[in-house]
Amino acid sequence: MTPALSQSCHQLFSAQFLSAPHAKAMITLTVNGKTHRVDVDPQTPLLYVLRDELALNGAKFGCGVGQCGSCAVTVDGAAVNSCVIPVGILQGRRVVTVEGLGTNEKPGVLQQAFIDEQAAQCGYCIAGMIMRAQTLLDQNPSPSDTEIRTHMGPNLCRCGTHMRIFRAIRRASEALKRNAAPQHETGRERT
């Protein structure tokens, strides 16, 4: 998390516990490439705005205190826990949720890999897992096993499907490498 966002999380906790609710304000947000205007208290956690105002229900409320990752989305390409990000600091920033990576008909590379590996048991953690994994593959399409484990460390899965999640990320990495390679080198159809 960037220092600015981390500081904002601290401010959010202070605001929640030390002060009365703030007045609503009109906030302009860019989520999955679309611009939205929402009329909310600027201290409202991004997660609540995504789910309650924008009907984007992929990110889940788990702990509510930034400790489990089930609410993870990306802001300007970095994974953040949306339960502790006040929406008021997001003017002009680029938010992406799991819905922004693909559709039921055309899943993104990571989404397809999670399906292929049957990585979900209850599925509650999966949107956050995919978003955190996406930030890894965006920076490093060929991560080592250690890099995958270290990067995914902050996200928890209560069902214990960590090895399937790990295999899904590895599978997505392989697919990205195949797609990036010239076809005559792989001899395979691009996916």
State in angstroms the smallest separation of the CB of 183 from ligand FES.
36
3-state secondary structure of 33: coil
State in angstroms the smallest separation of the CB of 136 from ligand FES.
18
The helix or strand, by DSSP H or E, that contains position 101, with its residue range, turns out to be none
CB 174 within 8 A of CB 141: no
Nearer to ligand FES, 66 or 86 (CB): 66
Contacting residues toward ligand FES, per CB under 6 A: 61-64, 66-71, 81, 83, 120-126, 157-159, 161
State in angstroms the smallest separation of the CB of 37 from ligand FES.
24
Task: Report residue 141 as tokens.
Answer: 């399409």
Number of DSSP helices (H) and strands (E) in the chain, helices first: 7, 5
State in angstroms the smallest separation of the CB of 164 from ligand FES.
9
Nearer to ligand FES, 109 or 168 (CB): 168
Nearer to ligand FES, 141 or 154 (CB): 154
Nearer to ligand FES, 13 or 124 (CB): 124
Tell me, rounded to whole angstroms, the distance of Cα 137 from its chain centroid.
13
CB 133 within 8 A of CB 149: no
The whole-angstrom separation of Cα 90 and Cα 76 is 10
Task: Report residue 165 as tokens.
Answer: 């999640």
State in angstroms the smallest separation of the CB of 23 from ligand FES.
25
CB 61 within 8 A of CB 47: yes
Nearer to ligand FES, 67 or 183 (CB): 67
